[in-house]
Amino acid sequence: SNNIAGGRVKYQLFPLNAFVLFRGIYTPNQWFVPYIGGGFSRTYYKINIENQSSIDGAENGTHYRAGIQFLLNNINKKGTRNLRNSYGIINTYFFIEVQELKAEVGSLNLDIGGRSTMMGILLEY
């Protein structure tokens, strides 16, 4: 009656990002590389509310990101050389990143953005 979701809610978010990244590389084979960036986001969402109809759609927004990359090349020099010769991979990094997404569904008065923390492996060709 008051337009507030009740019951169990399943919320799915699929962001598609285009961005610019600025990396702080000052020397070759630098162990730690800080970076910042940001750009445009097209965010696809789907909301399933128990005993109610589902809501889905897409919204445009922006995002900002910052993180640090750890160079893994010096840990295994033979493996690094094999990756370069076989696949053309120049550098391998482990990264940790924080990202802030700003996007709203105006018709629902719903903020679908938020903050996320990610980690992974970056292969540089």
pLDDT tens digits, residue range 75-89?
999 999 999 999 999
DSSP 3-state of 83: helix
pLDDT tens digits, residue range 14-58?
999 999 999 999 998 899 999 999 999 999 999 888 888 888 999
What pTM value is reported for the model?
A: 0.82
Contact predicate 97/65, CB 8 Å: yes
Between CA 103 and CA 101 the distance in angstroms is 6
Contact predicate 102/63, CB 8 Å: yes
